[in-house]
Amino acid sequence: MGGQFIRDEVTTIESLSHHSIKIKTSNQNIKAKKLIISAGIFSKELVKNLGINVPLETERGYHLMLPQQQLLNRPVAFAQRRFIITPMQTGTRLAGTVEFAGTKTKPNWKRAENLFHHAKQVLNSPIESASDQKWMGFRPTLPDSLPIIDHCCVNPNILFAFGHQHLGLTQAGITADIISDLVHHKKTDIDISPFSVNRF
């Protein structure tokens, strides 16, 4: 449909006027009439370019994959142990634990490895560790657990869609609908005032 995908690192964003936005990347300058900032935890630094400070922090979550499949036939959450076992096509995922440690601190892989010990305690089947199948991700979180979905106060043609915490994939569709309405100056289906960037 005429779109172009560019993989690059955005270094600065500058609002030249309400209809002119300059995006500087590692390799080029791009001029745009409209811009949507939707970069998870990395949105914090991008909006800072516009003089806006948001209290966005990362909840770092961990998981560990076991090679065995069909240990369970449905996802099960263990409230006392604070973790979840999820059967998947590629194995069994053990997920849980959260830490506030920013984007630059090295991963604490003991958090993922501890999930294996929890699984051994609750599963009847013998399980094998897959220590090379560890993952850590950044969940962009705001103090009230709501995202920011809004126009930028500096330039209404810059829009924000970030801070969805643990629910990025779940809320992606409705967020896209809202952003599409804002881009096209349409009334949104829901009241988006709770998601204002100015609430902090």
User: Does 59-141 match 10-56+143-199 at the fold level?
Assistant: no
| pLDDT single digits (tens) 143-190 | 999 999 999 999 999 999 999 998 999 999 999 999 999 999 999 999
pLDDT of residue 53: 96
Between strands 91-100 and 35-37, the pairing is unpaired
Query: Domain coordinates of the chain in residue numbers?
Result: 10-56+143-199, 59-141
- Per-residue confidence at 131, pLDDT binned at 50, 70, 90? low
- Per-residue confidence at 93, pLDDT binned at 50, 70, 90? very high
Between strands 148-151 and 134-141, the pairing is unpaired
Determine how many CB atoms are found less than 10 A away from the CB of residue 111.
19
| pLDDT single digits (tens) 48-66 | 999 999 999 999 999 999 9
Residue whose C-alpha is closest to residue 92's, from 119, 113, 54, 122 = 119
Q: In this prediction, what percent of the chain has a pLDDT beyond 90?
A: 81
Q: Does domain 10-56+143-199 have CATH number 3.50.50.60?
A: yes
The residue to which tokens 């630094």 are assigned: 45
Instruction: Kindly state the average pLDDT of the residues 129-151.
Output: 89
* Class of domain 59-141 as given by CATH: alpha beta
Between strands 158-162 and 35-37, the pairing is parallel
